Amino acid sequence: MARNMQVDGGRLWQSLVEMAKIGETDKGGVCRLALSEVDKNGRDLFVGWCEEAGLTVRVDEIGNIFARRPGRFDDRLAVGTGSHLDSQPTGGRFDGVYGVLAGLEVIRTLNDHGVETDAPVELAVWTNEEGARFDPAMMGSGVYAGVFALEATLEHRDREGASVEEALTSIGYKGSEIIGGHRFGAFFEAHIEQGPILENEKKTIGIVSGVQGIRWYDVIVTGDEAHAGPTPMSTRRDALAVAASLIPRIYDLALDRPPFGRATVGDFHSEPASRNTVPGVARFSVDLRHPDEGQLARMDIGLKAVAASVVEERGLACTVDDVWYSSPVVFDPLCVAAVGKGAELMGYSAMEIVSGAGHDAVYVSRTAPTGMIFIPCKDGVSHNEIESATSEDVEAGANVLLHAMLECAQGAEVP
Ligand SMILES: [Zn+2]
């Protein structure tokens, strides 16, 4: 019977519609900034639904919510799922909230069918995934996983000067559960893709194999300022001209590594930024991405070699400062396989995909075997009020989540 089980897509859609009323914007999106009154209202609605579903709700010290459905062997590690309820200031109706309510729908479906799983099942809402009001993004899952220290994080302040701790207290979600007090045996996060690949490939389900690694840099080229008129082209030490010649070679680091390599120069300025002065300094940012750690390391070496060659070929100074590194995440093979099996069982078209964005699952994966399920979103648009997904795809992703979780929650202890 469990093999034929399906979620109630209409009920899931209705829950999404109801949650989208909380913080709804004129353009059809939502504004539910983390730990605001609106976030509280969303959390309260969610907790009410969990209690109706017979779940035991606990809140930890950073405001993460855990709602538990007991298992036959209740001392086993729970099979978890979840995502976030907070949004960008001009956010959509699916980013984050989809993963939370798909998880709730899985639990409601298990209740409908009277299924007792071997392992307990647990639904998580992670605090402040977006990082729009308080830095950093993926705060709750990061504290849970020990990436960020609790005490320091509670001191972070928004632009009005309110701290995370004050905001948690004022909305009544400063819980008592010790951080990381319990772990998952396996964890799955369902999410809209936030990119165009599934739609372009006409696939319903993205079996997420991992998350791209990211390296950020500041590059500075230093030459000499000179008058734009009297100074011959041959004797100039033009920092902008040299920087401009570097940039195509930086793009090549990604273009030489299709389809996953990415290189972006997103911020560029020259000094003194005067129309009739040869620029003496050019500064720009570089963002390099690849899901394979070795490839990303080679891109890193390549960038530094390009910079060194400038010094040699053009006689100008060029420095490359490392700003940030987020290593690639490879999801657990058993969890990835469980997602693939779920899609196959339901007869959905599916493909393996690498996430270009960060998610709570990235940090959770440091503590438990983890996988993700993507569904398409219209035109790949997200972090936008017009963000959209079809009810068919929403239902399909929840069905895959159901069967992936059942795969791990039944029978032999997994992993
Ligand atoms: Zn999200």
pLDDT tens, residue by residue, 169-187: 999 999 999 998 779 999 9
Q: Report residue 155's pLDDT band, with 50, 70 and 90 as the boundaries.
A: very high
Cβ(303)–Cβ(232) below 8 Å: no
Q: Report residue 4's pLDDT band, with 50, 70 and 90 as the boundaries.
A: confident
Share of the chain above pLDDT 70, in %: 99
Say which residue, 358 or 361, is predicted with more confidence.
Answer: 361
Ligand 1 centre distance from Cα of residue 6 (Å): 24
Ligand 1 centre distance from Cα of residue 312 (Å): 45
* Average confidence (pLDDT) over 378-401: 95
Q: Report residue 412's pLDDT band, with 50, 70 and 90 as the boundaries.
A: low
For residue 385, with 0-12 CB atoms within 10 Å meaning exposed, 13-18 middle and 19 or more buried, which class applies? Answer: buried
Q: Is the pTM of this model over 0.75?
A: yes
CA dist., res. 147 & res. 246, Å (int): 35
Q: Report residue 413's pLDDT band, with 50, 70 and 90 as the boundaries.
A: low
pLDDT score, position 415:
44
Ligand 1 centre distance from Cα of residue 325 (Å): 20
pLDDT score, position 316:
95
Cross-strand partners of 268 = 284
Ligand 1 centre distance from Cα of residue 94 (Å): 8
Ligand 1 centre distance from Cα of residue 193 (Å): 9
Ligand 1 centre distance from Cα of residue 76 (Å): 28
* Average confidence (pLDDT) over 344-368: 95
Ligand 1 centre distance from Cα of residue 190 (Å): 9
Ligand 1 centre distance from Cα of residue 125 (Å): 11
Ligand 1 centre distance from Cα of residue 286 (Å): 24
Ligand 1 centre distance from Cα of residue 394 (Å): 15
CA torsion 245-247-251-252 (nearest 10°) is 30
* Average confidence (pLDDT) over 135-155: 96
Evaluate if residue 326 carries a pLDDT over 90. no
Mean pLDDT of the chain: 95
Ligand 1 centre distance from Cα of residue 90 (Å): 13
Evaluate if residue 411 carries a pLDDT over 90. no
**Helix-strand-coil split of the chain, %, nearest 5:** 35, 25, 40
Question: Per-residue pLDDT tens for 9-37?
Answer: 999 999 999 999 999 999 999 999 999 99
Question: Per-residue pLDDT tens for 187-217?
Answer: 999 999 999 999 999 999 999 999 999 999 9
Ligand 1 centre distance from Cα of residue 368 (Å): 19
Ligand 1 centre distance from Cα of residue 407 (Å): 25
Ligand 1 centre distance from Cα of residue 191 (Å): 7
